[in-house]
Chains A and B, each alone.
Chain A
Amino acid sequence: MTQAHLTEERLQGAADGSLDAEQMRAVYGHLSECESCAAEVARLRTVMTRAREANTGAPALDDLWPAIRSRIEESKVVAPKAFAGRASGASARRPWLAIGSTAVAAALLVAAFTQMQRWTPHASEAVLPSQDVAFASAVDSTRIYEDESRRLLNDLEMQKAMMGPSASASLSGDLAIIDRSIAEQKGALARDPHNIALQRLLAAAYREKVDLLRRANNAG
């Protein structure tokens, strides 16, 4: 043997075939001369084969993705702050908390249902019952982004003095574009208040405004 033994990373790579062609050639060249490394690679391959054969019951990543995807779908819009950040395990450890949470949730559901009763369905875009939660989430998202953009605008007044002329001009132009789009969407929502697609577009426009204002705070 003319060189040092392979690193752990190279051994693993040789065993699972993840090395690129050039690395593979170099590694195989070494393995043909080094019994110790060749034995280690063989041992790793055996372990990997056994691991593949063993039925661990753990789902493959491809199997997990649809569930992850549906969770993403559910959380496309921001959850209201009051509902965010509650760990599911906590209620299992503290039953009283679970009872309390259930009572609060029930009260909120009743309140939400009462609120929904006041809505007047629109002829063209009537909200289906299954879309109620999504619509309410979109409204909450809009409100949260709107509040945040207002706060950031106040902060920006301090930053503007530090901003260069090109950044300042760019910011003013982009804010005007977003504000025009928000105004148009709000006008359309006033005419069609239960249009969920419109409500989501409005939330997206406010989100864009928040992103822009955050970027602008870095431009000083």
Chain B
Amino acid sequence: MRVSVQMLALLCACVVGALVPSRAHAQHAGATDPVLRARALRAGSPLKMFIPSGTVRLVGWDRDSLVIRGRVPSSGKLMFGGSDTSGYKLVIEQRDGGELPESHLLIYVPRRSQLSLKTADAIVDATDVSGWFYTVSGRYHIDGAASSLDVEAMSGDIDLEATTPYARAKTGKGHLVVRGTPQDVDASTIGGMLDIAASSIMHGRFTSVTGDIHYASAIAPHALFELSTHSGTIDLLLPRDVSARLELSTVDGEIDNGFTSVRPAAAGVHNLRLSLGAASADITVRTFKGKVLVRSR
């Protein structure tokens, strides 16, 4: 009987130990230690995070608190900062110059927090969050509602599917996708493909150096678009009843106009001006030696 009581006490101690992570665990998470951290955070507070590798699921919620759970490997050192509710900092560092620690985290943040997330090659899936997001070669997918989004990658992929008044996205050779319902968009790549499928854009600037740009959506009335590449193709797939004034020019490329039933306002070998419908939107397309395609669907 005495043995079974001792066993029971030991078992209870183990269970309690596992459920309540100690401060030491939170500060230096090991390979098998789960990360569980929660604290109050005022809405609108800045939140800085550096999570180099692994996967991150970010969710904005309607609570004034921050919850972080998941796992950090032993090669990573988890550090927290911020002593009150006005801001917070989470950093995962690699120990002793080893490999990048692959963390797997689920993070809930107050919806109106201003996030600043930096990764090396992590895959990030975010919903209802706003702020600045950076990666070297990782991937971002952001959806939901945001007050503003600024997403930058050296070579990673970016997929914006959010409802936001302002979005800025830049990558090198990564694939950049703009969808959802943004209003003011500044998107560019260097060699990566840029796909746009959002009919809500009022002001859009889309550029690439050697990557192709594909726009396939309706155009908002009175919208203003500027698309340019050096050698990438610019392909506009527009509704048959689009209302826009198109000004297309290429220095050394060619222009392929699919709206053959509309007489151009001006046409040359390397430039074309078209007024389609009531011509309420303005679309300017420029390439150096890329092809310009305008097609109707």
CA distance A216 to B171 in the complex (A): 11
CA distance A200 to B41 in the complex (A): 46
CA distance A218 to B172 in the complex (A): 14
Q: Which residues does chain B contribute within 8 Å of A197, judged by CB atoms?
A: 249, 251, 271, 286
Across the interface, do A69 and B172 meet the contact criterion of CB distance under 8 Å? no
**Separation in Å of the A200 CB from the closest CB of chain B?**
6
CA distance A65 to B155 in the complex (A): 35
Q: Which residues does chain A contribute within 8 Å of B235, judged by CB atoms?
A: none
Interface residues of A (CB under 8 A from B): 62, 65-66, 69, 72-73, 76, 164, 166-167, 170-171, 173-174, 177-178, 181, 184-185, 188, 195, 197-198, 200-201, 204-205, 207-208, 211-212, 215-216, 218-219
**Separation in Å of the B249 CB from the closest CB of chain A?**
5
**Separation in Å of the B99 CB from the closest CB of chain A?**
12
Q: Which of B22-30, B76-84, B203-211 contacts A (4 or more CB under 8 A)?
A: B203-211
B230 at the interface (CB under 8 A from A): yes
Q: Which of B9-17, B220-228, B254-262 contacts A (4 or more CB under 8 A)?
A: B220-228
**Separation in Å of the A101 CB from the closest CB of chain B?**
30
CA distance A215 to B252 in the complex (A): 30
B190 at the interface (CB under 8 A from A): yes
Across the interface, do B154 and A170 meet the contact criterion of CB distance under 8 Å? yes
B152 at the interface (CB under 8 A from A): yes
Known: A69-B224, A185-B230. A216 touches B251 (CB 8 A): no
CA distance A167 to B172 in the complex (A): 11
Across the interface, do A164 and B120 meet the contact criterion of CB distance under 8 Å? yes
Q: Which residues does chain A contribute within 8 Å of B276, judged by CB atoms?
A: none
Known: A208-B209, A218-B134. A188 touches B173 (CB 8 A): no
Q: Which residues does chain A contribute within 8 Å of B224, judged by CB atoms?
A: 69, 72-73
CA distance A26 to B190 in the complex (A): 49
CA distance A204 to B229 in the complex (A): 9
A-B contact pairs, 17 of them (CB 8 A): A66-B222, A72-B224, A167-B136, A167-B154, A170-B172, A170-B173, A174-B172, A174-B173, A177-B209, A177-B210, A181-B231, A185-B288, A188-B251, A200-B286, A204-B228, A204-B286, A208-B209
**Separation in Å of the B211 CB from the closest CB of chain A?**
10
**Separation in Å of the B197 CB from the closest CB of chain A?**
22
Residues B275-293 near A (CB distance < 8 A): 282, 286-289
Q: Which residues does chain A contribute within 8 Å of B152, judged by CB atoms?
A: 215, 218
Known: A181-B231, A201-B286, A205-B230. A212 touches B207 (CB 8 A): no
Across the interface, do B191 and A174 meet the contact criterion of CB distance under 8 Å? yes
**Separation in Å of the B297 CB from the closest CB of chain A?**
26
Across the interface, do B226 and A215 meet the contact criterion of CB distance under 8 Å? no
Q: Which residues does chain B contribute within 8 Å of A173, judged by CB atoms?
A: 172-173, 191
Describe B's contact surface by its main secondary structure.
loop
Q: Which residues does chain A contribute within 8 Å of B191, judged by CB atoms?
A: 173-174, 177
B118 at the interface (CB under 8 A from A): yes
**7 nearest A-B pairs in the assembled complex, by CB-CB distance:** A181-B230, A170-B155, A174-B172, A174-B190, A197-B249, A167-B136, A170-B154
**Separation in Å of the A93 CB from the closest CB of chain B?**
32
CA distance A139 to B230 in the complex (A): 18
Q: Which of B118, B134, B210, B222 contacts A181 (CB 8 A)?
A: B210
User: Which residue on B lies nearest to A202, using beta carbons?
Assistant: B288
Q: Which residues does chain A contribute within 8 Å of B170, judged by CB atoms?
A: 211, 215
Q: Which of A170, A188, A201 contacts B228 (CB 8 A)?
A: A201
CA distance A207 to B173 in the complex (A): 17
Across the interface, do B209 and A181 meet the contact criterion of CB distance under 8 Å? yes
CA distance A164 to B155 in the complex (A): 13
Q: Which residues does chain A contribute within 8 Å of B173, judged by CB atoms?
A: 170, 173-174
**Separation in Å of the A174 CB from the closest CB of chain B?**
4
Residues B98-139 near A (CB distance < 8 A): 118, 120-121, 134, 136-137
Q: Which of B154, B203, B249 contacts A219 (CB 8 A)?
A: B154
User: Which residue on A lies nearest to B211, using beta carbons?
Assistant: A177
Residues B136-150 near A (CB distance < 8 A): 136-137
User: Which residue on B lies nearest to A188, using beta carbons?
Assistant: B251
CA distance A72 to B185 in the complex (A): 13
Give B64-91 as 1s and 0s: 1 = Cβ < 8 Å from A's Cβ atoms: 0000000000000000000000000000
Q: Which residues does chain A contribute within 8 Å of B163, judged by CB atoms?
A: none
Q: Which residues does chain B contribute within 8 Å of A212, judged by CB atoms?
A: 172, 190
Q: Which residues does chain B contribute within 8 Å of A76, judged by CB atoms?
A: 226
Across the interface, do B251 and A198 meet the contact criterion of CB distance under 8 Å? yes
Q: Which residues does chain A contribute within 8 Å of B210, judged by CB atoms?
A: 177, 181
CA distance A173 to B172 in the complex (A): 9
**Separation in Å of the B232 CB from the closest CB of chain A?**
10
Q: Which of A65, A166, A178 contacts B209 (CB 8 A)?
A: A178
